Copies of this chain bind each other. A is one copy, B any other.
């Protein structure tokens, strides 16, 4: 309750720009910020393979200025950052496989456009406060578990390399140019409004869709340990990072409730669904090359510094997600 009040004070009436605002996390964040009384502008390119979906703003669209633009359009981004109090920078190409087959597009969005956005802030709006959506992908295959922020960075795919550069640009601009930025390294995030058309955002999306459609889904490998953040908890972290001075220039992992194997996740999902089938199959060869094995985050740093912790347990997040797509699937396929 106290936290919620603080957020209202921090964001009510404030001008907030969200890139990727029609996407999964971006739209959930936007909805929350609308509730908090912020004046929202969101940018989304609505690229069919990415996470943007107009349905994600159902019920709040009239209170949000939606700009269909691509972060690669530097001139447009430069105009959009002017006068904003906050920038939640979530636009990105998220598919690891697509980054390997079309690496330059991944670079242009996740690396080059990020630098252009930061340059625009430096020139036109150096007082802006930025939170950047980074990813656990930049750690690569973990040396140890849980993975804390000091873990070596050894990305195993083009996406990881570009996201790392994008994160580093944010921290550099914070340190050298005083553009106050924070990076959150997200792990698998799930919840309402995630992409379920395919596995480009998260494999859980496809699982949920197949279950809701009454079809069996595939679990690749199955033994890998992973952690999952519920989207509302992730949104809380973005808001906290944006309004706390201690977060400036910092990098924080986000985690979730205790990690589970993918096979266990599948079992829990099926049980919550009240039935359903999955088959466990071997990891496909081309994906195996860029797989990171077990991963789960040590998220104690953001706990200590900002008081964040994942509040939603696995069953609850899966239940809410299933409920959403039972109702809404037709808008997402």
A positions within 8 Å CB-CB of B: 100, 103-104, 107-108, 111-112, 115-116, 119, 152-153, 155-158, 161-162, 164-165, 168-169, 172, 175-176, 289-290
Contacts and interface: CB of A to CB of B under 8 A. Distances in A.
Nearest to A158: B172
Contacts of A158: 115, 169, 172
Contacts of A290: 176
Contact of A165 (B116, B152, B165, B175): B165
A164 B168 CA distance: 11
Copies in the complex: 2
A138 to B, nearest CB: 10
A155 B172 CA distance: 9
Contact of A172 (B107, B108, B111, B156): B156
Contacts of A155: 168, 172
B156 A153 contact: no
A223 to B, nearest CB: 22
Contacts of A108: 112
A152 B164 CA distance: 14
A168 B160 CA distance: 10
A112 B115 CA distance: 13
Contacts of A164: 164-165, 168
A179 to B, nearest CB: 13
B156 A161 contact: no
B104 A115 contact: yes
Nearest to A103: B115
Given A152-B152, A169-B161, A176 B289 contact: yes
- Listed from nearest, the 9 A-B pairs whose CB atoms lie closest are A161-B168, A165-B165, A176-B289, A161-B165, A103-B115, A107-B115, A107-B112, A161-B169, A104-B115
Nearest to A167: B161
A165 B111 contact: yes
A95 B100 CA distance: 30
Contacts of A169: 103, 158, 161
A116 to B, nearest CB: 7
A61 to B, nearest CB: 34
A159 to B, nearest CB: 11
A157 to B, nearest CB: 7
